[in-house]
Every structure is written in structure tokens, then in C-alpha cells.
Amino acid sequence: MAFETVIYEKVENIAVIKLNRPKVLNAINVQLTRDFHQALAEAALDAGVKGLIIKGEGRAFCAGDDLSENPQGMQVEDILRHVEVLQDTTRIMLNMEKCIVAAVHGYALGAGCEWAMSADIRIAAEGTKFGFPETNVGAGVTNAGTKLLPLLVGIGRAKWMVFSNERIDAHTAEQWGLVNRVVPPEELDTVAMELVKKVAANSSLSIKLAKRQLNYGTYQDYEQQMEMEAHDVVLTLTGMEAAVRARAALDKTKQK
């Protein structure tokens, strides 16, 4: 299946999904959200796929929402529809019976960091920056990020990351539990592939059941969390402040 903004490949029994908007650091727009959702669904339904790697083309994993396609002016129903598709990517990853490894480099910001957190295991290249710019641009955290982030790094660190907008580097992310391992950039793809192949060589049924059990005990009630997030995203994005802040952030980015 061909996608406009995602590259989908199979390497033996491993699916590799690459976010493919490199000119904008794989920033998320409506098309990327839909393509990523469909690619994940295809991998989930393919009995020949035993594991997945998610990565980004170019200089970054994913720099978060594309502010040049800001949803201000959209109807509430359209915002909710977009958020639902966005959150469905998290649902697919959390519920998928296969191991998902996120190979992260460059930047993993906002929803990009949330997509990485939805994977089972995260490998980061040295130099990667993680952060949540939502409160700076007048938006809200989604993709169950308000549940996943505190579970990984603790509630205090989660609040600091979201409230301050400050980015942390890969080694700090490893110390805090946001990523499992940090490797040199040139080793990222190799280490991710070796890891997912090692998992895929084990019993598919055992992996399926273990993931279901671990996720149930850890992530139960994430649906209620995503419902609250969707409500709050609409609340932020339909106000005037979000439009002003998003425009200022975009102008600042263009000046760099």
C-alpha cells in the first residue's frame, strides 16, 4: 500500500514505518495522521509481521504538530474528528499484539513524543531532544500523553516537562525512564532492528499475552484520559490565544 506521507516497508517479518515529511521535521498534519494510522492498521492485520519499527526520515523523528496547518478556524466537529484519528494511532499501538520499537532521533516533540511513548520500547540516538511545546503554543497534550508520560518519568517530572516546555536530551530521557537505551546515531537503525528481531523470535502468543497483561495493569483507564484530553484540546484550540501563540511560535521557527 502506498502512502503520501509515510513509507511502509517489510524486512523479512519486521514492518518498518517511516514518517516521511522530512522538510518539516516530520511535523504532524492531517494527512500524516491518517497515513500513519493506516500503516499501523496494515501491520496489525498482517499475520506475517511479527514486530514493528517506527522511525522518522531526515533529521528528526517527529517535531510535533505542523503549526503552519493550525486548526484554528476549524469547526469543533472537525477538530474532534482529527483528534480521534490521532488518538486512534495510540489505541492501535497499545492494543497491537506485536512488539513496537520506536527508533528516535533528532527531535521527538509534542505528539511526536507521544507516538514514541505509545511504542513498547524506545531507542534514542545521542543528541535527540524530547519535549512538550503544547502549553507554549496554546494547545493541549493528547494521545494519552497525560497518562503515559507520568507513568514513564513520574508525575513531578511530567508536570515540569509539560509546564516549562523545556527539552531534555537523550541521556536525561534514559535516566528518567522515557527511553530504554541511548546509542550513537549511526547505530540506531541496527540496534532497533536487532532488538525487534530478538523479540519476534520468541513465541507470538506469549508476546501477545504478556503485552496485554502488562498494558492492562499499567494503562487501564487510558480511554477516560483520552476523552478528557479531546475535550481540553477543543477548549484550547477554539480560543483566540492559541491562534496568537501558534503564529508567534511559527514566526520564531522561521527566523532561525
For the beta carbon of residue 256, count every other beta carbon within 10 angstroms: 4
Cell readout for 168 is: 531534555
Catalytic residue at 134? Answer: yes
Concerning whether 114 is annotated as a catalytic residue, the answer is: yes
Question: Are 51 and 10 contacting, i.e. CB atoms less than 8 angstroms apart?
Answer: no
Which one is catalytic: 4, 77, 114, 229?
114
Residue type present at position 149: L
Alpha helices in the chain (DSSP H): 30-45, 76-95, 111-118, 145-153, 155-164, 170-176, 188-200, 204-219, 222-237, 240-255
Burial (CB count within 10 angstroms: exposed 0-12, middle 13-18, buried 19+), residue 126: middle
* Single-letter amino acid code for the residue at 164: S
Check: CB of residue 68 under 8 Å from CB of residue 243: no
Indicate which residue of 134, 187, 194, 241 is catalytic. Answer: 134
CA distance 173 to 192: 17
| Residue 209 to residue 197: CA distance in whole angstroms | 18
Q: What kind and span of H or E run contains 15? A: strand 14-19
Tell me which residues are annotated as active site: 114, 134
